[in-house]
Amino acid sequence: MKKKQFIIILFFISTYCCAQKDSSKQSNSIFIHHFKSDTAKYIQYIIANKERYIGKNLIVLLRELELNILSYTYSGNFSNKNYSNWITLWFYEGKKISYLRNLNQKPTNLIIIWKEPLSSKKDNQILKNSKGNWTQEAKDYYSWPIVKDITTTNYR
């Protein structure tokens, strides 16, 4: 009988701990459904609240982001080609980006500016391997640099 009670108590304790863990994650997440699945509004919210991520590793934003990153590009440093200053994260396929631009709509992206420039040699290697797709290799590499700023493309 004591064994059965112990198992039941253990079950309730583990259930409680899991529920606490899940609720703490939810309180820190930015839910896209609050923006009625409007990607542009969601991105603007992230940019308006970028202080949550500045000075931290990019992984902090990636863990909360509820958009699938489809592709990315990086930008070289204009004064030193051996370094890159930022990456641009894309949430649309290339055809949709062109389609939106043709409709005079602004396809939304996130530009992550690094606190310290990254090696463009490593950037090139990962970009070549991934063909610009947001792969696990790209995510693993770009998750750890420190974010200096977050913005988006200012289309004209």
Higher pLDDT, 62 or 38: 62
pLDDT computed for residue 1 by the predictor: 57
Residue 92 carries which DSSP code? S
pLDDT computed for residue 19 by the predictor: 41
CA distance 25 to 28: 5
Confidence of residue 24 (pLDDT cuts 50, 70, 90): very low
Alpha-carbon distances, residue 52 vs 26, 81, 148, 156 (angstroms): 15, 30, 11, 28
Token pair for residue 21? 């863990």
Instruction: Write out the H or E segment, with its range, that includes residue 150.
Output: strand 147-151
Instruction: Say what the pTM is.
Output: 0.75
> pLDDT tens digits for 76-104?
777 888 999 999 999 887 777 777 777 87
pLDDT computed for residue 48 by the predictor: 93
Indicate if the pLDDT at residue 142 is higher than 80.
yes
Alpha-carbon distances, residue 51 vs 56, 68, 79 (angstroms): 9, 22, 27
Q: What is the per-residue DSSP string for 39-69?
A: HHHHHHHHHHTGGGTTTSBTHHHHHH--S--
Q: How is the chain split into domains, by residue range?
A: 1-28, 31-151
pLDDT computed for residue 131 by the predictor: 93
Helix (H, G, I), strand (E, B) or coil at 135: coil
